[in-house]
């Protein structure tokens, strides 16, 4: 099983409750803004501690309130692609990718070719389009050799052509990487096209 998640967290007046059991492919968290989708990703990544429940990914227990297990975020090996890409503005695209790879350039050229970003390597993040920045952010996450991927609204704020471009990148990841992927969206068409398992919040 890729994801076995049962978490609860009170945030102010809101109670976030989520249960996910998924096999291969992409599990999609679907729902309106403010439903707690990003909070669930943060709990899986270890950035937010659930009040109760458990988080297991590919058989590894990352959090279990009853058993007292809470693996630190840096040891969970999550490849987290945030909604706003979060590239370092003072680093070139190449340096951003190398940061993800821990300074190891092995595999960078192959990944740049695969994601069609080789021509961007010497550019600065501020000069990238939304679609280019998303591809770089996904590439940086993959170069960190993650155990799983978390994608927070990876298609938001993109025009139709860029959305289709990133959709194809995500489909490629789903079909070729073998990584468990948990993705957040508020778009039902995206959820239905990409998700093997859809969980509505």
Beta strands in the chain (DSSP E): 3-11, 14-22, 26-30, 52-57, 60-64, 69-70, 78-81, 148-152, 181-185, 197-200
Cα–Cα dist 60/70, whole Å:
12
- What integer best gives the mean pLDDT of the chain? 92
pLDDT of residue 54: 98
pTM of the model: 0.92
The overall longest dimension of the chain from CA atoms, in Å, is: 50
29-60 pLDDT, tens digit per residue, is: 998 888 899 999 999 999 999 999 999 999 99
80-135 pLDDT, tens digit per residue, is: 999 888 999 999 999 999 999 888 888 899 999 988 899 999 999 999 998 899 99
For the chain, the structural domain boundaries read: 3-200
> Residue 72: pLDDT band by 50, 70, 90 thresholds?
very high
Domain 3-200 has CATH 3.40.50.150: no
């Amino acid at each position: 099983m890729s994801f076995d998640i049962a978490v609860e967290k009170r945030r102010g007046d809101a109670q976030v409750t989520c249960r996910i059991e998924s096999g291969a492919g992409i599990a999609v968290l679907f729902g309106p803004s403010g439903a707690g989708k990003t909070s669930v990703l943060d709990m899986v990544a270890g950035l937010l501690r659930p009040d109760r429940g458990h988080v297991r990914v590919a058989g590894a227990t990352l959090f279990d309130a009853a058993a007292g297990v809470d693996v630190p975020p840096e040891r969970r090996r999550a490849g987290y692609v945030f909604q706003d890409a979060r590239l370092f503005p003072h680093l070139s695209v190449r340096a951003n990718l190398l940061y993800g790879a821990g300074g190891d350039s092995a595999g960078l050229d192959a990944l740049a070719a695969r994601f069609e970003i080789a021509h961007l390597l010497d550019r600065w993040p501020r000069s990238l389009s939304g679609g280019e920045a998303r591809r770089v952010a996904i590439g940086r996450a993959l170069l960190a050799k993650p155990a799983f991927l978390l994608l927070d609204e990876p298609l938001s704020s993109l025009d139709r052509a860029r959305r289709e471009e990133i959709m194809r990148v995500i489909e490629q990841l789903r079909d070729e990487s073998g990584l468990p992927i948990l993705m957040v969206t508020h778009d039902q068409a995206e959820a239905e096209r990409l998700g093997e398992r859809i969980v509505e919040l």
